[in-house]
Amino acid sequence: MTLPYHTPLTTDQQKSLGIDFPAPYAMADKVRFSELDVLNHVNNAVYFEWFERVRVLYTQHFGLARNFGSGSGPRIVIRSGTIHYKQEMLLHEDYVVTCGCTAYRTTSFTMHQEVWAGGTQRASFECVLVLLQPDGSGRYPIPEDVRKQFASVDGARFEG
């Protein structure tokens, strides 16, 4: 299979790459030289960039983030997060970053993300995201249609 970069992957594509539990949203890319550190493996900070890139696309895909920079729609900020590094990544490796919502409340939700390469999970990231008013003045409720998608597409549970 030719791995399509920068394109959402289907469940079947994810399974064919050895991803145990395909995610609602996943995207592939390749490790670049500029992402390496002095030990010639991917710098730890780069994983956060990979996770953020896919997380932003996920929120856009599901209609939560709108018109970046326009002031419409909520601000989405990370309240907390935990990353687990499991195996190093090297130059030119193909990888897939997955993303899905595992739980949600009225104005926040929990995301689970993973990096996969060569059929093995290399890192995972769990974070809580909070929605704020566009001007940052207070909380922004998750729209009902997005809550329904969290439950039906991602299998997320309501924690309210």
Residue-wise pLDDT tens digits, 90-147: 999 999 999 999 999 999 999 999 999 999 999 999 999 999 998 889 999 999 999 9
User: Measured between alpha carbons, how far is 158 from 152 in angstroms, rounded to an integer?
Assistant: 11
pLDDT at residue number 104:
98
Cα dist. 42→4, 18, 20, 32, 121 in Å? 21, 21, 23, 9, 15
Geometric angle at alpha carbon 40, from 84 and 80, rounded to 5°: 25
Q: What is the pTM of this model?
A: 0.93
Report, in angstroms and rounded to the nearest whole number, the Rg of the chain calculated over CA atoms.
16
Cα dist from 5 to 17, 76, 113, whole Å: 13, 26, 18
Residue 8 CB neighbour total at 10 angstroms: 15
28 pLDDT more than 80:
yes
* DSSP collapsed to 3 states, 4-29: CECCCCCHHHHHHCCCCCCCCEEEEE
* 40-54, 56-70, 94-108, 122-136: least confident range: 56-70
Task: Read off φ and ψ for residue 140, nearest 5 degrees.
Answer: -125, 120
β-sheet bridge partners, residue 123: 85, 115
Decide if pLDDT at 1 tops 80: no
Query: Percent of the chain having pLDDT more than 90?
Result: 86
Residues 6+ apart with CB under 8 A from 7: 27, 28
What pLDDT score was predicted for residue 66?
A: 63
Torsion sign (Cα): 66, 147, 113, 75: positive
Average the pLDDT over 74-84 and give the result: 95
Which of 2 and 110 is assigned the larger pLDDT? 110
